[in-house]
Structure formats: structure tokens, C-alpha cells
Chain A
Amino acid sequence: MEDIAAFIKKIENEFEELPKETLKPETSFRQIDDWSSMHALIIIALIDSEYDVLLSGEDLRTAETIQDLFNIVKTKRS
């Protein structure tokens, strides 16, 4: 599986209003400006289409940072 930099890039592409290169592995994704459940759905759709992994509501609740999300995707793929 590709590295976290590529993962971050994909997320940034989905959120048009987000300035590029602001997301870091340690970014807590709920701190993204105006974070809403819409963002959560967009991330689920992205991860499903790009990595063929379906994140559950529980996965999203337990994850804090972008790195956490990436780790969950990695674990679920293996």
C-alpha cells in the first residue's frame, strides 16, 4: 500500500476549500475548519473507492488523527 503522503494528498483533493499541505499525519481531522459529518462521509467514500476498505462509524469515532485513519485502512487491508 502507498505511503501516508499519498493518502493525505487524496484527502486534500477531496476538500476543495482546504489550503494544500495543511494536513499532517498528526493533524486531528476533526479540527479541520467547519468539520461536519459531511466530511466523514466524503472520507468514507474516498477510502472505499481508493483502498476498497469500508470504515465503520466506530472506526471514525476511535480515530483522532490522519495517521490513525491511515493505520486503520492499513490494518483492514491486510
Chain B
Amino acid sequence: MALFSIENIQIKGISCAVPKDIYSNMDYERISIKEREMLIRTTGVEKRHVAKFGTTTADLCKVATNKLLNELKWQRSDIEILIFVSQSRDYLIPATACILQNRLELSKNCMAFDVNMGCSGYVYGLSIIAGIMAATKLKKGLLLVGDVSTLNTSYKDKSTFPLFGDAGTCTAIQFVDGAQMNFNLQTDGSGYEAIIIRDGGCRNYASKESFDSKKYSDGIERNRVELELDGIQVFNFSLKEVHLNILTLLEFRKNKVEEIDYFIFHQANKLINESIRKKLKIPIEKFPYSMAEYGNTSSASIPLTILAALSENLQNQNQKLLLSGFGVGLSWGSAIIDFKNVVCLPIIEMD
């Protein structure tokens, strides 16, 4: 069971950059106004920040990182580990983390690699960087997490197009005696087709046919390099697994729901998140949302929600947060972290 604690690692700061351009779902003319209203009511996504063609996750993460390093007054030469978690990397080869090491002017003595995870990516990424730093006693690390998902959604696919927004985040991690994080990480690869881009990898190498658009049903038309999402399967998985994962973690840490100050969930959609919240009997004031303004930003949604909805409540305080990410893979996980004097920067809008 991937249920464990990591000692002596703490988050020191979080920053996030989103593209300036906003798409309002009320302007989505592929569906009737009535359906748009229902979509917004059900998913909770009113608008989303959408990257210009050519802007990548790495570009957003770079802006977020520069700002945070300046704010924390961290020396670039002190960063010994950089992990980039994303499913929208710059190139198939090489790893984007390597490119970012150079663009961020970090030292050559910095280890850097990519992790290919989506909705659960922040929690997974945090466990990886914290695990390595705790074991090796590296002092300072950067966890860059985010996605430009809108690039891979089809305008003609109402099951994906209105949901996603783009964002890149940076979380500064430091070795601090006495700190603790707890994790419960899970996987069910039998559901790998629930959220998938079928072509472009090695299993189905991109071909001319990959770009042929096909109509699957009313309002659902896409090609094979665009994102496909089985809403009902994802919904069922989320209702079945996420609360159990969280209860197991709470029990492991000997915490009750009431002892957690805030529950920061991946912003899947409002119906899913509300259903899980009610199962766990979490009061709404402990359960912040950011999806109305930013949509589902994949792996970036947890740090983005902390900044968008909680910054003021968290400044200079000692709080206990439970983070939960779930989705593509299928992969899911939760973490309980102590959130103490963390620098939370305002969200940056990038041209």
C-alpha cells in the first residue's frame, strides 16, 4: 500500500501563471443557450484562461518560478532538484525539465526530470520531490506543475472543450527539520481509456488519419490527437474511490475530517467535487473552489486553488491542509500537509 509519511520537508512558497485570454462558456455556440446554462451550473466552469497557440506549460511555469524565486530571495545556484509534472510537454524528446533548468538559469548541479501525470499530478509530484529530498537531504527544490490542456481539446467536442483551462505553477520545497507530509497514492490502469489522447505516442504513432475529425454523437466531434473523455466512467470512478482514499489517509494520520483546516481538491467539475464533499461531510467553507474562474486546470488545479481562494486565510498561519487529486490514469492520491508561513503569490496573468 502506497500509504506513507515523509519527514523534514516543507512547502515554502507557491506561485501560478495563467494566460491572459479568457474564454467564457456562455459564448460556446456549439450548444444552445439553455444547454450552456445547464453546463455551467453542473460543471461550475463559467470561464477559463486559454493559452495562445504556441504558449506552453513550460512558458507559464517559467514566469511563475521567476517571480517566486525573487520573492523568496532564493539563489538559483542553490536549487538542487527540479521536477516538471505535466502532460503537455514542449517536445516528445527531450524532457521539458532539462530545458527549464537552462531557461531558469539553474546550476548544472541540479537534477531535473519530467513526470507524466495529470489530475493526480500535484499530489504525486509532491510525494516524489519530498521523498527524494528527505532521503538525500537536498536542501532546496522546485516542483513545476501544470498543463495547457486547451491545445488538445476539440472545439466541436462539448464533452471536453468547455471544461479545461490552462495554468503553470511553481512550488518551492525546502528541507526543514521536524516537518511532516503524509500520502496515500493509488492507481487503476484498467481505466486508462477513460481520459486519453489516442494517437501520437508509440502505441498509435501519429499518421495522416490521426488528424481526420470524426463525429461520435451530437456535439461530439474530434480527431485522434485530441482529448477524449468518458464523463460517466470518470464520474463513477471518482464517486467510488476518492472518499475511501481520503478516509484511509485520515485514519493513517489519526486525523478526523474536523481536524483538517482546508480540503483542496483537484477541480474536476462541480458535480463530482460536491458529491465527494457530501460523502465526507466536509463543510463548504473548508472546501474552496476555483473552477468558476479557471476551469479544470489538470495538474495545476490544487496549487491554483490555494492561491485563488485561500491566499489571505493562509498567510502567516499554521494550517493543516488535505490535498486530493484524481483522474487520468486512472490515478488518484491525497496528502495531508502542514502549511506554515508559506509565501502565496497572487496569480500572474501572462500576455
Binding site for B on A (CB under 8 A): 17, 34, 36-38, 40-42, 44-45, 48-49, 54-57, 60
Most B CB contacts (10 A, CB to CB) among A48, A56, A60 go to: A48
| B230 and A57 contact, CB distance less than 8 A | yes
User: Nearest Cβ distance between residue B153 and chain A, in whole angstroms?
Assistant: 16
Question: B234 to chain A: closest CB distance in Å?
Answer: 10
* CB–CB B236/A56 < 8 A: yes
Question: Which residues of A are found within 8 Å of B35, using beta-carbon distances?
Answer: 34, 36, 38
Instruction: Check B232 against A54 for contact (C-beta < 8 Å).
Output: no
Contacts of B233 in A (CB 8 A): 57
- Given contact pairs A38-B38, A54-B240, A44 touches B32 in the complex (Cβ within 8 A): no
Partner of A38 from the list B32, B39, B236, B275 (CB cut-off 8 Å) is B39
- Known A-B contacts A17-B34, A42-B42, A49-B278; the reply to A37 vs B232 at CB < 8 A is yes
| Residue in A34, A40, A49, A60 whose beta carbon sits within 8 Å of that of B32 in the complex | A34
Q: B228-244, CB under 8 A of A: which get 1 and which 0?
A: 00111101100110000
Residue B271 CB within 8 A of the other chain: yes
Give the residue name and chain of the A residue nearest to B159 (CB): A37
Q: Is the CB of B42 within 8 A of A44?
A: no
Question: How far apart are B265's CB and chain A's nearest CB, in angstroms?
Answer: 16
| Contact between chains at B38 and A34 (CB < 8 Å) | yes
Checking B231, B278, B279 against A41 with a beta-carbon cut-off of 8 angstroms, the contacting residue is B231
A14 nearest CB across to chain B (Å): 10
B38 touches A60 (CB 8 A): no
Q: Is the interface of A mostly helix, strand, loop or mixed?
A: helix
Q: Are B159 and A44 in contact (CB under 8 A)?
A: no
Contacts of B239 in A (CB 8 A): 44-45, 48, 54
Count of chain A to chain B residue pairs whose CB atoms are closer than 8 Å in the complex: 51
- Say whether, besides A37-B232, A40-B232, A48 and B275 are in contact (CB < 8 Å): yes
Whether A38 touches B42, Cβ cut-off 8 Å, given contacts A44-B239, A45-B239, A45-B271, is yes
What are 25 of the A-B contact pairs (CB < 8 Å)?
A17-B34, A17-B38, A34-B34, A36-B39, A38-B42, A38-B43, A40-B231, A41-B232, A42-B271, A44-B232, A44-B235, A44-B236, A44-B239, A45-B235, A45-B271, A45-B275, A48-B275, A49-B275, A49-B279, A54-B236, A54-B239, A56-B232, A56-B236, A57-B230, A60-B232
With most chain B CB atoms within 10 A of its CB, the pick from A38, A44, A49, A60 is: A38
Q: For B234, give the chain A residue with the smallest CB separation.
A: A41
| Alpha-carbon separation in the docked complex, A39 to B271 (Å) | 11
Once bound together, how far apart are the Cα atoms of A49 and B243, in whole Å?
13
Chain A residue at smallest Cβ distance from B233 = A57
Q: For the complex of A and B, list the 4 residue pairs with the smallest distance between their C-beta atoms, beginning with the closest.
A: A57-B232, A38-B42, A45-B275, A48-B239
A11 to chain B, nearest CB (A): 15
B-side contacts of A34, CB under 8 Å: 32, 34-35, 38
Task: State A15–B93 Cα separation when bound (angstroms).
Answer: 48
Q: Which residues of A are found within 8 Å of B279, using beta-carbon distances?
A: 49
| Most B-side CB within 10 Å, residue of A34, A36, A48 | A36
Q: Are B271 and A41 in contact (CB under 8 A)?
A: yes
* Contact, CB under 8 Å: A36 / B275: no
Query: A45 to B272, alpha carbons, bound, how many Å?
Result: 8
> Please, how many angstroms separate the alpha-carbon atoms of A48 and B159 in the complex?
22
Measured CB to CB, the nearest residue on chain B to A56 is: B236
Contacting pair A57 B271 (CB below 8 A)? no
Chain A proximity of B274: nearest CB distance (Å): 8
